[in-house]
Structure 1
Amino acid sequence: MSQVAKRYAEALFQLARNQHALADVSSDLKELTKAFETTPELVALLQAPKISSDMKKAMVSNVLSGAHPAVVNMLHLLIDKKRMNEVSLVAKEFQALAAAAQGAAEATVFSTRTLTDEERAEISAAFAKLVGMEKLEITNVIEPSLLGGIRVQIGNYIYDSTVASKLEGLKRTLVG
């Protein structure tokens, strides 16, 4: 994680918490991250050196007219400081700070298929206790190469109960 992104995220988190707008800012940042991931042209446009900062800020203000002002202002600041490449990292760090403040942690669950709501709830209940949280905010990533089972990543903690990893362990045991 970039130190710069961490500082911006902490400042945005403090501002959102003081304004009692953690949920709104968090939601806006999730939508912004999705937009940046699905339209790389937008990121390229906002990083283009030939477009003035004022023009970029005007575009951001128009596109995000319904977003929380703190999110728009953060983007304006990142444009001024020529740090638009940090937006996704700022959003990710903010989500982690917001989740921790609400007694939750962010988790990525890798599986061969989309998890049901019931499965998400079971995984959240089982693994949240391991990391000292009340619940997990789960992002499900489909990875067919796992063959079966799940791999859960919570911060630096990884629990791997996939068929692929069990087969690899069995191979190491048999081969020696």
Structure 2
Amino acid sequence: MAKLVSKRYALALFETGLELEKLEQFKEEINYVSNVLDAEPKIEMVLTHPKVTNNEKKELLDSLFKKNISQEMLNFLYVIIDKRRERYIKEISEYYDFLYNEEKNIVLATVVTAVPIGKAEEEKLKTTLTKKLNKDVQLKNVIDESIIGGVMLKVDNKVIDGSIKGQLDSMMKNLKAMRV
């Protein structure tokens, strides 16, 4: 249910952004609202509390966001309040990002390494992935010392594990299979 609601509202916002040619602006604004809610759980608690009236919730949104987001986004948040969908704002933001990335032909990739990769290696990997996937690649480097060395690459739902830990795990699995 939550996914369906989030998708429906994100799609409505996305289509409005397309129509008004404000896709990027709406992306920044809905992410800003979501980030504020993440950083301040008490605000989210007030927004989702059933005893707080819709008008009080709208006043809270005004005081928090009126200077930082467009009137269209504020109106969108008002609709969310009126329809009692406040608890889905973060999921709406996530799905909006997904729609935006699809529209702009962007793919998010995570490269996991034991130590930070250099700018040159990052650019080379980004260029290679861009050519291979035929999409604009946004690369994020995550440091995980437990992989010991090598690289683990995550793109969409695919994982390419070239880490030493992955190779050791694979060898251990093969050794256990040979014992039986």
Same fold flag (TM > 0.5): yes
Partner SS for 2:15: helix
Equivalent runs, 1:129-144 vs 2, <5 Å: 129-133=131-135, 135-144=136-145
C-alpha separation in 2, matches of 1:114 and 1:29: 30
User: What residue in structure 1 maps to residue 88 of structure 2?
Assistant: 86
The answer for the alignment partner of 2:11 in structure 1 is: 10
1:1-56 deviations in Å (ceiling 9; x for gaps): 81111111111111111111111111122222222222222211111112111111
- Which residue of the partner structure matches residue 33 of structure 1? 34
Quick one: structure 1 residues 111 and 53, their matched pair in 2 at CA, closer, same or farther if it must change by over 3 Å?
Answer: farther
Unpaired runs of 5+ in structure 1? none
Match of 1:76 in 2: 78
Higher Rg: 2
C-alpha separation between the residues in 2 aligned to 1:74 and 1:121? 38
Instruction: Among all aligned residue pairs of Structure 1 and Structure 2, give the percentage whose two residues are the same amino acid.
Output: 21
Match of 1:106 among 105, 108, 112: 108
TM-superposed deviation, 1:100: 1.6
Contact 1:147–1:162 (8 Å) recurs in 2: yes
Q: Deviations over 1:36-91 (max 9, x none)?
A: 22222221111111211111111112211121233222222222222222111111
Distance 2:144 2:69 in 1: 33
Identify unmatched segments of 5+ residues in structure 2: none
Q: CA RMSD in A?
A: 2.4
TM-score calculated relative to the size of structure 1 = 0.83
* SS of 1:51 mapped into structure 2: coil
User: Cα–Cα, structure 1 residues 121 and 69, in superposed 2: closer, same or farther, change >3 Å?
Assistant: farther
What's the counterpart of residue 56 of structure 2?
55
Q: Work out the CA distance in 1 between the residues paired with 2:6 and 2:80.
A: 10
Distance in 1, Cα, partners of 2:84 & 2:99: 24
Q: TM-score, normalised by structure 2?
A: 0.81
**Hey, what's the Cα distance between the residues in 2 that align with 1:175 and 1:10?**
49
Shift of 1:130: 4.5
- TM-aligned CA distance change 1:50 to 1:19, over 3 Å: same
C-alpha distance in 2 between matches for 1:29 and 1:112: 33
Q: Which moved more, 1:1-10 or 1:116-125?
A: 116-125
**Aligned length in residues:** 175
Aligned to 1:124: 126
